[in-house]
Amino acid sequence: FFNLATLYKRLNRRADAATAIERYCEIEERKVESSNEEKISQLKALREEVSKLNHID
């Protein structure tokens, strides 16, 4: 799923891409079983990073 960050950088509509990636991460976080803390942590980190990038402009 970290290829989403690459996709984010390539798309012209960064705000739309960031929103889509954030939503994807939120959905995936809900799907992942609570026993898989590592994946949940990775998804949260990706969502936070994209959110920061989206608010730079």
How many domains, in total, are found in the chain?
1
pLDDT of 12-45, one tens digit each?
566 777 788 888 888 887 877 666 888 888 888 8
The domain in which residue 39 lies consists of 3-54
Residue at 42: amino acid letter:
Q
Q: What pLDDT score was predicted for residue 42?
A: 84
Q: What pLDDT score was predicted for residue 51?
A: 81
Query: Nearest CA to 12 among 57, 43, 49?
Result: 57
Q: Which two tokens stand for residue 49?
A: 């990073």
